[in-house]
Structure formats: C-alpha cells, structure tokens
Structure 1
Amino acid sequence: MRPLLRRIARDSSGASLIEFALALPIVFYMGGAGIEYTNMARVHLQISQIALDLADNASRVGLSSNLAATQIRETDMNDVLAGARLQGNGLGLTTNGRITISSLEMVMQSYDTVPVQRIHWQRCVGLKSGTGFASSYGTTSTTAGTDATLANAGTTMSTGMGDTGYKVSAPTGAGVMFVEVNYTYQPFFGTMFVTNKVMHYTASFVVRDLRDYAQIYNPSPAATRMTCDRFTS
C-alpha cells in the first residue's frame, strides 16, 4: 500500500482539472456579472435616447398651416407615443414601464391676465402604475387642455418641472414638451446581480414652431385620448 500511496501523492496529472473545477464558479459569477452590468448600461442608454427622441418629436408635430398657428392634436400625440413604444419594443418598455409627456406652457390664455406657467395637459402610455411610475414632477386632470376654458386650464407649476436644481421652465409665450420614462429593468440572471431596478429618465425640448396653445385638439374622426388614467401597452 505504501508504494501505491506514494505514487498517488506524486501524481499531478489531474491538477489542472481540479484547479479548473475550483475556479469555474468564480469565472461563471464574474462573467455573469459582466454580462448583466453591460446589458444594464446598454438599457440605460436606450431608455435615455427614447426619452430624448420622444420629447424632440413631440416638440415638432402638429397640423401646420401658413395661415394659422400649428395645432397639436390627439392623433399627433398618439403617433409620437406609438413611435416610442416601437423604439422600446425590444425592452418591453410599455409592458414594464410608463411614459408620461407633459405640455409645460408659459402662456397667457384667454382667461388669464398675465402669462401663467402650467402643465396644460398630459398624455401617458404603459402598464405600470403606482409609486415610481407616475409623474414625479406634477400631474393634471384627464380633461385638462381638452378645451379653452378655465375649468380645464391644467395645473399651475410656477417653478417649472424637474429635480431640484435642474428644473425646466417654459419660455414666455411658448411651451416645453417634458418627458418622463420609468422602466423596470429586466435582468438576464434574475435577482442575482440586480434587484427591482427602476430606471428613471427625463428629457425636454422647447416647441419648435408657432403652436396654438389654446388646447389639444381632437377633430373628427376623434382619436382616443391617451390620458394618464389609462394603462395600456
């Protein structure tokens, strides 16, 4: 037995296999973490770009006319929201998140005596609801902006919208399209590396044209209003 034990003790033919077996869990863990965090960085970038594109598109759309100011319509808002939905389709953006777009305006309406900054109307898309997905910076009624009356004037926002120190205000006589995107990150490896991560991005663009700010129009055939009491994907 002693010679046999000595041969076994000197035998190093399986050393590499044993070392590989011991290192494999660490390699898998580090590789999985690298994949997860790289993907999360990619999704952060994609969500940020969607917010920017949506604000940019919303600042440009409307029914243009050489004889009158551009009218913003419900169908225009539906189109830009549909574009954001398609852009985030690979992420399941509207299934796992919520988009809110606000028309922040500093305008003197027919019922005002001076320009007033307010959220004149908001539109939303996405299935998620509750804390972390509703607008963080102000809300307004579902009927706000649907006609040119004081009852539907919207919500006064004298200090603008956004985080403290980074608030956005509309230029006098004009408006800003302010977009919020909240999205629950869908990890590759469950909760091993990331747990309940909600990505939050905002973007804003000043309206590019001479817009009619009296209301958001909905001419016949009327389009579905994507008001923020609706939760659709």
Structure 2
Amino acid sequence: MVEFAICLPFVITVTMAGAELANYTTTKMRISQLALLVADNASRIGSGSMNAKTISETQINDLLTGAGLQSGRLNLFQNGRVILASLQPSATENKFVVKWQRCRGMQQVTSSYYTATNTTNLNLPVTGDIDGITVKNHLVTPPSKGAVMFVEISYTYQPLVSLQFLPSINQTINDSAALTVRDNRDYTGGTSGIYNAENATRSLCAQYTAT
C-alpha cells in the first residue's frame, strides 16, 4: 500500500498527460481535415452554366457554416478563425493577387501568408502583385485562367484537463489547405467575381464573429 501511495501521483500525471496529448493530436488532425474540407467545398461551389459557373456570398456563407457544424465540440468559430482566399492571376505576367477573401471566427488573427493591402474596397484585389503563396517551402500559384482556393485555420486548443500536463505545446493550432477551382468559373462578374443577388450578409474579414 505504501508503494502504491508513492506511485499514485506519478501514475495519475502520466495518465493525464497521455490523455491530453491524445486529445491535442486528434484536435490537430481535425483542424487539418477542416481546412481541406473548406478548400474542397470552395473549389466546387458554383451554379449556372458549366462554361462560367458563378459563385455567391450565400454559397460562401453556407460552406463556412458547414465547417462550423462539422467541427462539432471544437466550436471552431468561437475558438478560432477561418480565412478563405481566392488566389488568381494578376494583369502582370507571372504575378498573382488575392482577389477576395472571406472570414469567420472570433480569434483576432489575419493571414499568415500574405499582407492584405486593401480591406475596404471589395471591387479591388486584397493584395498587390505577389509571386504566389508559399506554404512549407512550396510556392502555390493558380493556373493561367483559374484560381486556387486557399484556406487558413487558426484555432486555440481547448485542453481536455489542463495544459500543465503538456507545457511545451503551442496552444494555437494553425493549418492551411489549397485546391484549384475544379470548374470554369466567372471571375469578373458581381463584386470581384462574387454575386449577391440574395443580398446576403458578407463574411468580411473586418468582422470577428462566430456567425
């Protein structure tokens, strides 16, 4: 009994640390999957002619809402933020711009991969000319007549028990995903290529809300 009493605190600590590590690893995997889900859905949305599908603010809002539902108990938008951007060719040869971006989530972060030089005029690109978006030493660029849907998720990890069991981890989990738009898309109509016939509320990046 004496030996058990001596070992018990150590056993409890190791058990709690193991449970916390497993939960953290699972959360990181889910955030990665959510980033890919948003990028995949954003690359597929659109309606109308197959020659030039149009996308709308409502469709973007719906795919963000879907990500929130998919996140379940992670409470993605209460504890994090999703940034969806459209990387497209610039008028300048071999240069690109983030034509538009939409965001949702309460975490106070901006993109880690590009600097938004325009955050007010929706008719102008979000960035100036850039070489692309570099992710883990790989340069992401869109095709000459297409776009890449680039997604970033930043999430504040919610511990299962306490972060004291994993003092070395980074509580902020960041992940990204990029997928090329799959269909021919109308990139010029509406507002920077996004229509809003329904007069839906835009998920603008100046807002830090969960809805």
Give deviations 1:84-143, integer Å, cap 9, x for gaps. 111113101111111101100115xxxx475741000000000010xxx31101243344
> Any gaps of 5 or more consecutive residues in structure 1?
1-16
1:27-66 map, 5 Å: 27-66=11-50
1:6-85 map, 5 Å: 17-66=1-50, 68-85=51-68
Q: Distance in 2 between matches of 1:93 and 1:153?
A: 27
Q: Distance in 1 between matches of 2:135 and 2:11?
A: 41
**Mean alpha-carbon deviation: is it higher for 74-83 or for 192-201?**
192-201
1:40-189 map, 5 Å: 40-66=24-50, 68-106=51-89, 112=91, 116-129=95-108, 133-140=109-116, 141-143=118-120, 146-147=122-123, 152-163=124-135, 165-189=137-161
**Mean alpha-carbon deviation: is it higher for 80-89 or for 25-34?**
80-89
The alpha-carbon distance between structure 1 residues 19 and 115, as it changes in their structure 2 partners (threshold 3 A), is closer
Q: Distance in 1 between matches of 2:186 and 2:120?
A: 18
TM-score between both structures, scaled by the size of structure 1: 0.81
SS at match of 1:70: coil
SS at match of 1:156: coil
Higher normalized contact order (CA 8 Å, seq sep 6+, divided by chain length): 2
Q: Distance in 2 between matches of 1:210 and 1:143?
A: 28
Q: Distance in 2 between matches of 1:163 and 1:190?
A: 31
Give how far 1:71 is off.
1.0
SS at match of 1:155: coil
Q: Distance in 2 between matches of 1:36 and 1:157?
A: 43
The alpha-carbon distance between structure 1 residues 143 and 218, as it changes in their structure 2 partners (threshold 3 A), is farther
Counterpart residue identity of residue 178, structure 2: S
Larger radius of gyration: 1
Give deviations 1:194-225, integer Å, cap 9, x for gaps. 35511110100000000011123333331111
The alpha-carbon distance between structure 1 residues 161 and 45, as it changes in their structure 2 partners (threshold 3 A), is same
Counterpart residue identity of residue 197, structure 1: Q
Query: Could you tell me whether the CA contact under 8 Å between 2:95 and 2:131 is conserved in 1?
Result: no
Query: Could you tell me whether the CA contact under 8 Å between 2:92 and 2:129 is conserved in 1?
Result: no
Q: Could you say which residue in structure 1 is the equivalent of 2:172? A: 198
Q: Distance in 2 between matches of 1:121 and 1:43?
A: 29
Q: Distance in 2 between matches of 1:58 and 1:208?
A: 10
1:214-233 map, 5 Å: 214=188, 215-233=192-210
The alpha-carbon distance between structure 1 residues 116 and 162, as it changes in their structure 2 partners (threshold 3 A), is closer
Query: Could you tell me whether the CA contact under 8 Å between 1:119 and 1:155 is conserved in 2?
Result: yes
Q: Distance in 2 between matches of 1:225 and 1:198?
A: 26
> Following superposition, which runs of at least 4 residues in structure 1 exceed 6 angstroms of deviation?
none
Q: Distance in 1 between matches of 2:179 and 2:92?
A: 26
Give deviations 1:169-209, integer Å, cap 9, x for gaps. 11111100000001111112223123551111010000000
Counterpart residue identity of residue 191, structure 1: L
TM-score between both structures, scaled by the size of structure 2: 0.89
Give how far 1:73 is off.
1.1
Counterpart residue identity of residue 54, structure 1: V
